């Protein structure tokens, strides 16, 4: 039987380790979350993040805006949050409406309040392997692999997907852990063959059940980042989820075929319940780290310049 890599115990450890750091701070860490529109999945994610803030004693600041909001309106809000001393981290929930310039909005978030690790400055620090907020989902995956004592160094890792949010930062983090890394994407030839060479396969492409048995080397570790809603009964049956579909009228599956991964992998993350909890945990971790940085800077500023010698 393959090992099931549940995210819940990893999340619990990350959050528990944050508590003594939070207690040492002179004020609560502050996280602002910006949600635009009525996307149900985004609303669920935001509620989970706000709940985690309350459980840890954060100061949380939630802004829910109408889908008609303009890029300029969002930029004004972010400028206000950038200047708010109670806010250490800012998260703009993606996706944004098509008429909003998402890149401009994300880059308007101050690099030292970038709780998601998306700002170009922080991406540059990731490339250089210097301390900075890291993209939450890939950072959580690294923590999961370490929690379950799954070796990274020296292994062949394949990342399926090249997004700025998961694929690219995931590849860099695995490289910094001394894996040999290949990135596959829509233009990769013989993609199943490339994936089948992986000791460690990370799937992040957003296509339900795309990764089938011929992508997976026997005994490989498979990390499934996908969250895909299936609303067709026949498709749900093909994933072995007929009973759940009958009860709910829909099911959630990852990018990896749930039957095939159990047959082929040595270890794998379930969907749901695998990677998802880690994203929230690492968002909390990034915010605490930013709060520590801001409070150190405030302490130094209050102390004034060092006396001349």
Q: What is the mean pLDDT of residues 17-43?
A: 91
Q: 254 burial class (0-12, 13-18, 19+ CB within 10 angstroms)? A: buried
Question: Out of 11, 88, 93, 199, which one is annotated catalytic?
Answer: 93
Q: Please pick, among 116, 224, 255, 260, the residue that the annotation labels catalytic.
A: 116
CA dihedral 253→192→218→4, nearest 10 degrees, is -20
- How many Å apart are CA 123 and CA 169, to the nearest integer? 8
42 by Cβ neighbours in 10 Å (0-12 / 13-18 / 19+) ranks as middle
250 is catalytic: no
Domains, the chain, ranges and CATH? 25-112+277-300 (3.40.50.10860), 136-269 (3.40.50.720)
From the list 11, 49, 88, 260, the catalytic residue is 49
Token pair of 88 as six digits: 């250490």
**Phi and psi, residue 65, nearest 5°:** -115, 155
Other C-beta atoms closer than 10 Å to the C-beta of 96 total 24
Mean pLDDT of the chain, nearest integer? 94
Supply the pLDDT for residue 293: 96
List pLDDT tens digits, range 240-254: 999 999 999 999 999
- For residue 68 the two structure tokens come to 């008609």
Residue with tokens 């310049």: 305
Q: Catalytic residue at 234?
A: no
Mean pLDDT of 46-62: 91
Residue 116 among the catalytic residues: yes
**What is the C-alpha to C-alpha distance for residues 1 and 219, in angstroms, rounded to an integer?**
10
Only one residue has tokens 């990274």, namely 152
pLDDT score recorded for residue 306 = 57
pTM (two decimals): 0.93
What are the tokens at 75? Answer: 């930029």
User: For residues 189 and 74, what is the distance between their CA atoms, to the nearest angstrom?
Assistant: 40
């Amino acid at each position: 039987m393959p090992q099931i890599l549940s995210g819940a115990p990893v999340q619990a450890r990350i959050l528990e380790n944050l508590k003594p750091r939070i207690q040492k701070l002179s004020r609560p860490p502050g996280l602002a979350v910006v949600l635009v529109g009525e996307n149900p999945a985004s609303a669920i994610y935001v509620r989970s993040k706000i709940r985690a803030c309350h459980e840890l004693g954060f100061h949380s600041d939630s802004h829910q805006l109408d889908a008609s909001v303009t890029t300029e309106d969002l930029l004004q809000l972010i400028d206000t949050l950038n200047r708010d001393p109670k806010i250490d981290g800012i998260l703009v929930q993606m996706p944004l409406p098509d008429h909003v310039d998402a890149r401009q909005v994300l880059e308007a978030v101050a690099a030292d309040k970038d709780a998601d690790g998306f700002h170009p400055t922080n991406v540059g620090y990731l490339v250089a392997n210097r301390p900075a907020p890291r993209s939450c989902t890939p950072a959580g995956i690294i923590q999961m692999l370490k929690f379950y004592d799954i070796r990274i160094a020296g292994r062949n890792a394949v990342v399926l997907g090249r997004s700025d949010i998961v694929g690219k930062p995931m590849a860099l983090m695995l490289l910094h852990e001394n894996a040999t890394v290949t990135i596959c994407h829509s233009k990769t030839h013989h993609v199943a063959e490339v994936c089948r060479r992986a000791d460690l396969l990370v799937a992040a492409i957003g296509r339900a059940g795309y990764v089938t048995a011929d992508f997976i080397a026997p005994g490989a570790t498979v990390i499934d980042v996908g969250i895909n809603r299936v609303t067709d009964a026949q498709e749900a049956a093909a994933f072995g989820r007929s009973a759940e579909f009958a009860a709910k009228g829909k099911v959630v599956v990852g990018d990896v075929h749930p039957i095939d991964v159990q047959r082929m992998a040595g270890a794998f993350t379930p969907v749901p319940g695998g990677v998802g909890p880690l994203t929230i945990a690492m968002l909390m971790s990034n915010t605490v780290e930013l709060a520590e940085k801001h409070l150190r800077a405030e302490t130094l500023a209050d102390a004034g310049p060092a006396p001349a010698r």
